[in-house]
Chain A
Amino acid sequence: MENEKRQGVMWWQLFTSFFKIGVFTFGGGYAMIPLIEREVIDRRGWVERQQFLELLTLAQSAPGPISLNTSVFVGYRMDGYRGAFASILGVVIPSFVIILLIAMFFTEIRHNHVVEAAFKGMRPAVVALIVAPIMGLAKGMGWKRILLALVAAVVVWKLSVSPILFILLGAVGGILWTFLHTKREKR
C-alpha cells in the first residue's frame, strides 16, 4: 500500500515509464528495444522475459511503429483500456512536442546557408542508414524470396505503385500458399 502510494496509480506509472521511453528512443525502431526491456522487465517487472519475446514478435507483425505497438500491449495488460491510452500517450507526447517545435522554427532557419550545407551532408547519410540493415534482414531468405523483394522494390521505385498493393499481395499470397500446402498434405 505504502509502495503503491509512493509510485502512484498504475496508469500514471505506465504513462511515466513510456514517457521516459519516448524521450530516450532516438532513431526509433530496433534501437529502442533494449531501453523498453530495461524499463518494462528489469525496473518495473510488468512483463516476463519470455513474454517479452512473444510481445516483440507480435509488435513487429502488427502494422505501425514497434514502440507504439509495445506500449499498447503492455498498457492494456496492466490496466485495460486506460493503461493502453496512458502508455501510448506517454510514447507519443515527447516526439510530438519536439517535432512540432522543429516544424515551427525550422522553416525560418531552413534557408540559412549553414543549415542548408549541413542537410546536404546529411541526405546521403540517411540513404546509407536505410541501406545498411537490408543485408542482415535478407539473411536466411531463399533466392526466390530475395528476387520477389527486388521485383517489388523496382516496381514501387520505377512505376510509383503504392506499397500497399505489395503488402496486400504478400499477405494474400502467403495465405494461398498455406491453403494449397495444407490441401496437399491432407491428400
Chain B
Amino acid sequence: MIYLQLLYVYLKIGFFGFGGGYAMLSLIQNEIVVQNHWLTNAQLADIIAISQMTPGPIAINSATYIGYTVTGNIWGSMLATIAVCLPSLTIMLAVTRFYLKLQHNKYVTGAMGGMQPMVIGMIVAAALILLTPDTFIDWKSWVIFGLCFVFSVLKVNPILLIVASGVVGIMLY
C-alpha cells in the first residue's frame, strides 16, 4: 500500500532528521532514491533546486512534491507533509515542557555532541551522492559548480545563484 509506505518513510525522515536542512538530505536520498526508487538522483536535485527558489524547508517541500508524484493526488501529498511534521510537533511539545531540565542533563549533551560529527558527515554524503553523471553531465557542469561554490562561500544569496545557474544552463545547453 503506497499510502502506508509514504507515511512510514516520512515519519522516519521527520524523526531522524537531525541537523535540519542539508543534513536531512542524505536521509531523504537514502529513502526516496536508494530504497524506494521513487525518484532518480537528478530528479531529487531538481526538487532541491525548486526548494531553494520557493519558501519552506526542503524536508517539507520534498514531502509535498513526492507525495503528489508517487500517488498522483493531493491526499498523498497531504499525507506525506503531515507525516514529516508529526515527529517535530510531538518531540518539540514534549521537549518544550522539560527543556530547562533537559538542557543541562549531561547525557543529553553527550548524545548531541556525539551526533554532531554524524550530522556533518551526512551533509558531506548528500553532496557526494549527488555527484553522478546525470547531475554533472560535462565540464561545463564543473565550471558552474566551482563558481557557485566560490560565490556561496562569499555569502552571495543562494536563490540568486540558483536562478543565475538556470539562466546559464539555458544559454549553454
B-binding residues in A (CB < 8 A)? 22-31, 54, 57-69, 72-73, 76-77, 81, 84, 88, 91-92, 94-96, 98-100, 102-104, 106-107, 114, 116-135, 137-138, 141, 145-146, 148-154, 156-157, 160, 162-164, 166-175, 177-179, 182
Contact = CB atoms under 8 A, between A and B. Distances in A.
Contact of A129 (B64, B106, B161): B161
B104 to A, nearest CB: 11
Given A156-B125, A167-B18, 15 more contacts: A24-B55, A26-B54, A77-B96, A81-B93, A119-B169, A120-B173, A121-B167, A132-B148, A148-B121, A153-B121, A153-B124, A163-B30, A171-B114, A172-B111, A175-B111
Contacts of B117: 141, 145-146, 148-149, 152, 170
15 contacts: A60-B19, A62-B91, A65-B21, A68-B60, A68-B92, A73-B96, A117-B169, A119-B46, A120-B173, A121-B169, A123-B45, A123-B141, A127-B45, A163-B26, A166-B118
A106 B65 CA distance: 10
B68 A100 contact: yes
A133 B119 CA distance: 13
10 tightest CB-CB pairs across the interface, nearest first?
A121-B169, A174-B114, A95-B56, A178-B110, A64-B88, A152-B121, A65-B57, A29-B21, A128-B148, A125-B165
- Interface-central residue, B25, B106, B128, by most chain A CB under 10 Å: B128
A124 B121 contact: no
B158 to A, nearest CB: 5
B96 A98 contact: no
Interface of B: 12, 14-22, 24-27, 30-31, 34-35, 42, 45-46, 48-61, 64-65, 68-69, 74, 77-78, 81, 84-85, 87-89, 91-93, 95-96, 99, 103, 106-107, 109-131, 135-137, 141-142, 144-149, 152-153, 158-159, 161-162, 164-170, 172-173
Given A62-B91, A128-B149, A175-B110, A122 B16 contact: no
Interface of B is mostly: helix
A149 B145 contact: no
Contacts of A175: 107, 110-111, 114
A151 B121 CA distance: 8
B55 A23 contact: yes
A125 B140 CA distance: 11
Nearest to A122: B49
Nearest to B159: A26
A72 B158 contact: no
A13 to B, nearest CB: 19
